């Protein structure tokens, strides 16, 4: 038994923030951002919540799959920027969709969140526990960004992507790997809420994203190709058998370097970060939905999905579309 994606959807906030507008906030330039990251614009919430965006993306994924919300058995939301600590985002999305028969919960693995959610769902579906699932990656990172820090505020964007998956007998997910290295947690971190009770007041608390960009960069270009090779090995295929590498969209130079290390043609690496920036757990499903709606995902194609980011976390999976 395996699992296949039968529908995709995505949603972006209305406001588009071009690089030029950022030059009014911090000491940067359109040229620097494009050259060092490949990013030209990103969408920023002006009120849309992670749940709003996820519900919108999920509705489209359901419609694309030809399924009703009431049919969904498992609703898993990957996010590292939830609107509320409780209830979890997935339960809010469940209510918005009317997916009353689903069990709903969140998963946080930062930029690897969607990939880890997909792998988690695979385990549930192939164990026969549920027959289908709706998976969303959704972020409003603009609320955890320090808008005075030019090293991070130029990178991130808000948005959501979703996929509907169900059990299948042939094709679908062929193999996956996932890894975590908690010892490097400090290179990309963000505090959640200060410990502030009558007995203790936390000082030196940073509720915004802090990142050692160079560390994250070198981690990604070393570990991602290795994990992709590992997932391909588990699936019994090689780099040459892959039609498309749908990678987490963090930096164009990271993607180019990964392609080079894998000795794969860069044309097999679709990129949308020029328009949407780094949307953490929403990056992969939004890109998948773009490819799907453009008719670029043809049945029988072999896809590699790979996520990497804070934790540190990283992994890859191989899918026969
Ligand atoms: O999902 C995972 C999340 N994170 C990532 O993927 C981040 C991975 N890392 C990166 O993408 C890159 O490291 C960055 C894009 C964040 C930075 O690029 P870099 O080539 O590694 O630049 P750097 O940090 O080494 O900085 C080079 C220079 C510095 O100036 P000095 O010290 O050489 O004078 C920075 O202060 O560029 C400066 N700089 C900027 N200049 C203009 C840093 N940010 C900016 C900026 N505009 N926005």
Question: What average pLDDT does range 84-89 have in this prediction?
Answer: 96
- pLDDT, the chain, mean: 97
DSSP 63-115: HHHT--GGG-SEEEEE-SS-S-SSS-HHHHHHHHHT-TTSEEEEE--GGGHHH
Could you report the per-residue pLDDT of 145-189, keeping only the tens digit for each? 999 999 999 999 999 999 999 999 989 999 999 999 999 999 999
Instruction: Please work out whether the CB of residue 212 comes within 6 Å of at least one atom of ligand 1.
Output: no
Question: What average pLDDT does range 184-207 have in this prediction?
Answer: 93
pLDDT given for residue 187 in this prediction: 96
Nearest to 290, CA basis, from 320, 270, 317: 270
Could you report the per-residue pLDDT of 98-108, keeping only the tens digit for each? 999 999 999 99
- Contacts with 229 (C-beta within 8 Å, 6 or more apart), sequence order: 239, 262
Question: What average pLDDT does range 32-46 have in this prediction?
Answer: 98
Could you report the per-residue pLDDT of 238-291, keeping only the tens digit for each? 999 999 999 999 999 999 999 999 999 999 999 999 999 999 999 999 999 999
pLDDT given for residue 303 in this prediction: 98
Q: List the residue whose alpha carbon is closest to atom 43 of ligand 1.
A: 151
pLDDT given for residue 114 in this prediction: 98
pLDDT given for residue 204 in this prediction: 86
Q: Are 66 and 14 in contact (CB under 8 A)?
A: no
**Among 217, 219, 279, 309, which is best to mutate for testing ligand 1, by the most ligand atoms less than 8 A from CB?**
217
Q: Show the 3-state SS of 233-286.
A: HHHCCCHHHCCEEEECCCCHHHHHHHHHHHCCCHHHCCCCHHHHCECHHHHHHH
Active-site entry in 251, 278, 292, 317: 278
pTM of the model: 0.97
Instruction: Please work out whether the CB of residue 28 comes within 6 Å of at least one atom of ligand 1.
Output: yes
Q: Are 286 and 11 in contact (CB under 8 A)?
A: no
Could you report the per-residue pLDDT of 226-240, keeping only the tens digit for each? 999 999 999 999 999
**Among 20, 36, 81, 310, which is best to mutate for testing ligand 1, by the most ligand atoms less than 8 A from CB?**
36
Distances (CA, A) of 18 to 15, 24, 109, 171: 10, 11, 28, 40
Q: List the residue whose alpha carbon is closest to atom 25 of ligand 1.
A: 214
Question: What average pLDDT does range 116-129 have in this prediction?
Answer: 97
Instruction: Please work out whether the CB of residue 216 comes within 6 Å of at least one atom of ligand 1.
Output: yes
């Amino acid at each position: 038994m395996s699992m296949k994606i039968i529908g995709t959807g995505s949603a972006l906030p209305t406001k588009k923030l071009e690089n030029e507008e950022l030059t009014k906030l911090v000491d940067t330039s359109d040229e620097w951002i494009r050259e060092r990251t490949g990013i030209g614009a990103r969408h920023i919430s002006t009120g849309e919540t992670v749940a709003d965006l996820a519900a919108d993306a999920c509705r489209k994924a359901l419609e694309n799959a030809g399924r009703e919300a009431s049919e969904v058995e498992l609703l898993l939301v990957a996010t590292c920027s939830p609107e509320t600590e409780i209830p979890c985002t997935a339960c809010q999305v469940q209510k918005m969709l009317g997916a009353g028969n689903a069990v709903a919960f969140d998963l946080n693995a930062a930029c690897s969140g969607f990939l880890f959610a997909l792998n988690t769902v695979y385990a549930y579906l192939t164990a026969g526990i549920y027959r289908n699932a709706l998976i969303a990656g959704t972020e409003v990172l603009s609320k955890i960004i320090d808008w005075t820090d030019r090293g991070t505020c130029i990178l991130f964007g808000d948005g959501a992507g979703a996929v509907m998956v169900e059990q299948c007998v042939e094709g679908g997910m062929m193999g996956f790997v996932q890894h975590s290295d908690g010892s490097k947690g400090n290179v990309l971190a963000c505090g959640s809420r200060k410990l502030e009770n009558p007995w203790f007041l936390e000082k030196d608390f940073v509720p915004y994203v802090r990142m050692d960009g160079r560390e994250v960069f070198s981690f990604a270009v070393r570990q991602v190709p290795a994990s992709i090779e590992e997932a391909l090995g588990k699936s019994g295929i090689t780099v040459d058998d892959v039609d498309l590498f749908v990678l987490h969209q963090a930096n164009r130079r990271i993607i180019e370097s990964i392609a080079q290390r894998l000795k794969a043609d860069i044309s097999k690496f679709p990129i949308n970060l020029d328009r949407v920036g780094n949307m953490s757990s929403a990056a992969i499903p939004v890109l998948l939905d773009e490819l799907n709606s453009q008719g670029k995902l043809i049945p029988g194609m072999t896809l590699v999905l790979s996520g990497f980011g804070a934790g540190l976390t990283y992994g890859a999976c191989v899918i026969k579309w």
